[in-house]
Structure 1
Amino acid sequence: MTLSEKVKAIRKAEEMSKATFCKLTGIPLSTLDKYEMGKFEPSGTALTKITQHPIFMKYTLWLMTDHAAPEAGQIYPALSPDGHENIFNLLKSQKVGWLRKK
């Protein structure tokens, strides 16, 4: 899975609109659109903006290494609610986490 696909998976796992994701991260909407269309990959600066936001910190390890450490609060994004995006074919043997404060 590319970094662009992972960014989209994180946004969808949080059930967040593109506009909200952009507002929280400071990434321009036009840039996010290009990531999600696969036109280019996120820069180091963009990845930092994402992983330093408290909502998205839990995905940092997965985003950067394809691994999770639930015991340390580092998880994979949950599958999309409608089940149409089977983004974890390669990770079926891994735990999928979902940490959301209520």
Structure 2
Amino acid sequence: MLNLGAFSAICRSLIGFSSICELNKVIVQSPLVKDSDCMTTFSRDYSQKLRIIRKAEGLTQQKFAEITGLAVGTIKRYETRQQTARAEVMEKVLQAPEFRKYTMWLMHDEIAPETGQIEPALAHSGTDGGEAQKPTKKTG
């Protein structure tokens, strides 16, 4: 029998399942989790994508905070992986006109340059010298 922690990890790794309850119904057809656990919805961690955007735009954490309305301390915790940035944070970041061009990349790992939807590495020459980015799917 899977413990809840292992089961949660499986949920997070499979695309298309947003909750323990949904995955439980599809895969195991057995009550591994309580009904209250079925209310848990998983969200992707966007912390490192925020950092990639900030670096590609040549912004300090302070300037990024001013543009997005996020606290500098919060941005620091995201970038050091002490806190996770969820979808609601991305919605706030994407309210800034200068970051809307990254919407498809942020949400779907896709780009559509013909419509202005790009990834940060394409916005400015080069990256921050950090880890290599995995290739992004091009739509259209």
TM over 0.5: yes
Match for residue 84 of structure 2 among 33, 41, 65: 41
Residue 99 (structure 2) aligned to one of 56, 60, 70 = 56
Q: C-alpha separation between the residues in 2 aligned to 1:87 and 1:20? A: 25
Match of 2:130 among 69, 85, 92: 85
In the TM superposition, structure 1's runs of 4+ consecutive aligned residues that sit over 3 Å from their partners are none
**Per the alignment, in what secondary structure is the counterpart of residue 119 of structure 2?**
coil
Aligned pair count? 90
Amino acid at match of 1:41: T
| Structure 2: gaps of 5 or more residues | 1-44
Which position in structure 2 is the counterpart of 1:21? 64
Where relative contact order (Cα < 8 A, 6+ residues apart) is larger, the structure is 1
In terms of fraction of residues, the more helix-rich structure is: 2
Work out the percentage of aligned pairs sharing the same amino acid. 37
Higher Cα Rg: structure 1 or 2? 2
TM-score (normalised: structure 1): 0.79
**What is the TM-score normalised by the length of structure 2?**
0.59
